[in-house]
Amino acid sequence: MRWDGQTLSADDGALPGLERAGLARLGLVRSVTTPDFAGVTFHEVHAKSALSKVPEASRMPFRWTVNPYRGCSHACAYCVSAGTLVLMADGRQKPIGELVVGDEIVGTRVVGRYRRYVATTVEATWRTRKPAHRVRLQDGTEIVASDDHRFLVAGRGWKHVRPAPRGSSQRAYLTMNDSLMGFGSSGLPEIAFDTDGPDYRRGYLAEPPRGNGVATVRVTGGLPVRQRFFRLARPAITRKLAVVGTAVKSATNLGIESIEDLRRTEEMVDITTGTGDFVANGVIAHNCFARPTHQYLDLDAGADFDNQVVVKTNVDQVLRAELARPSWRRDPVALGTNTDPYQRAEGRYRLMPGIIEALADSGTPFSILTKGTLLRRDLPLLVEAARRVEIGLGVSLAFADEELQQAVEPGTPTPRARLALVRAVREAGLPCGVMVAPVLPWLTDSRDHLRRLLDEIADAGATGVTVVPLNLKPGTREWYLRWLARDHPHLVDGYGRVFARGAYPLTGYRDWLWERVQPLLEERGFGGSGHRVRSGATGRYADDLRPHDDGDYPAGSIVEPAGGVVAGAPRRSTRPDEAGQVLF
């Protein structure tokens, strides 16, 4: 398999000093690089344990966690411009920037001797900004992509737009001798209409009406011409547009005419699909398949957190064994409290289904916190698990403005995609709280931004909301302040004042933010007196809503320990009734 063929050893430069790194303590099996995740090395380990106990002094309202990954592969690997047209399963085309998780599109699969168009589903979407390159084909098709995007070349497999950067591993790339696979997207040739005589149908209705009165349009020239005609005519009935089952044949000239560096960055989008590819502008394109803790592994909390991802490949088996011990008391377990369990790598490793089943089979209640829309893949499993144990689901969403979100969280699902995930979870009859965290001073703490964001969250049906200001803990602090100095240098002095006393913003700022947030929450039904809130590590509870902190989670997101109450709401049951609905 291609993935297995990318295995590295310590001598291959996978990670300098690998034999001395903390990875050895985790049972390193191999290190893997793959073009699917450009610039990322995956260190596959056989973990000795899966359950991690949270220190008693912690502010968190849970005592056990499971983290199948260390580090995060959310950063986008390669992508195309947001306006690139993607072929939908019904034959229509839609800009990739408008796709959402769950959309039915067209991919390809080798069936027997031929590669054929097949229906597939969008499993996740990603956005970032990257240097843009324009690929122009002989038939006039153009597509703007990042230099590491890959296209299917006739007879030569997948190739990147440009060679690898100097000093990186070699990779196949497009040349003027290559021809892409697909049907292209060049403009429809001009059609002449003669409306003065009986020949007006030429080039329009090529055949006269049949005896039953049905008129037809005959389009010759194969799939490329047919697609161009449909794109121009936009028929209301789509059954003739479908290409599913058709063999992939390039009936038009899709040879490379030029590859141009546009010398600018553009918003880029990529998707994860069930087939690993999609049809972009009529050609077949490949898709993409907590910092401080990295320091325990002798890795840094900045670039290594993004580029050196540890994968506990046996986590589900180890977890099942730990849950079977007589000493296990079925205390609630939280996932996603350190690193996201639904990051991009989960699309390849598929660790979460086994974890969900192990927890449900053992009668252990659990919670999942994520910003990854890949959770949608496992909704059927989660609905079944909720019939047996109490579960909580939480989504992190801190931005209403997509451009700022991608600047701070490059490659993560967009706000729109995460709101769609909240809706999908609620429609499945499961709870879903939203963490508006972190709120960034001067960037996302305006009344307008908070109002817009909370309106969208309420409209999506969230069961609860917490609003938490930015904390700059060691590791995160250095990474964030470097970004701030580069992109918003005029704010550096202000952050120095707000965080003058360390990791947490000054009390004055937290009080100011809460005075702004509280009425917005109450107006949308997310606050008010009578709600009980956990007050930190002491285990005491207040009788009314108070400022949220990083130990508070919104209603529906966390299954609290026996006798405890999650911030923002009384204890709720999340077991579905016999009709499959959740009882609140």
For the chain, 584 residues long, the average pLDDT of each consecutive 10-residue run is: 38 36 58 63 83 71 83 56 90 88 89 86 76 92 90 88 67 90 63 41 49 60 56 55 76 90 86 86 77 38 51 92 95 86 84 96 95 91 97 94 80 84 96 94 95 96 93 77 87 94 90 93 71 30 52 83 48 32 24
279: domain CATH number is 2.170.16.10
Same domain, 263 and 316: no
- Which of 526, 529, 532 lies closest to 565 in space, CA to CA? 532
Distance CA 390, CA 177 (A): 59
Query: Which residue range is the domain that position 100 belongs to?
Result: 80-186+248-286
Q: State both tokens at 426.
A: 């609620």
pLDDT value of position 187: 39
Position 41 in a domain: yes
Position 229 in a domain: no
Position 228 in a domain: no
Distance CA 2, CA 7 (A): 10
Position 575 in a domain: no
- Count up the domains in the chain and report the number: 2
Per-residue pLDDT tens digits for 369-406 = 998 888 999 999 999 999 999 999 999 999 998 888 87
Amino acid at 162: R
pLDDT value of position 34: 62
Position 169 in a domain: yes
pLDDT value of position 100: 85
Same domain, 332 and 435: yes
Contact predicate 338/473, CB 8 Å: no
What phi, psi does 147 have (nearest 5°)?
-70, -20
- Which of 289, 37, 283, 277 lies closest to 153 in space, CA to CA? 283
Position 262 in a domain: yes
Distance CA 542, CA 568 (A): 11
Same domain, 42 and 26: yes
Last residue of a domain, one of 525, 542, 559: 542
Same domain, 19 and 146: no
Same domain, 374 and 358: yes
Distance CA 355, CA 114 (A): 37
Position 276 in a domain: yes
Position 563 in a domain: no
pLDDT value of position 321: 96
Same domain, 86 and 65: no
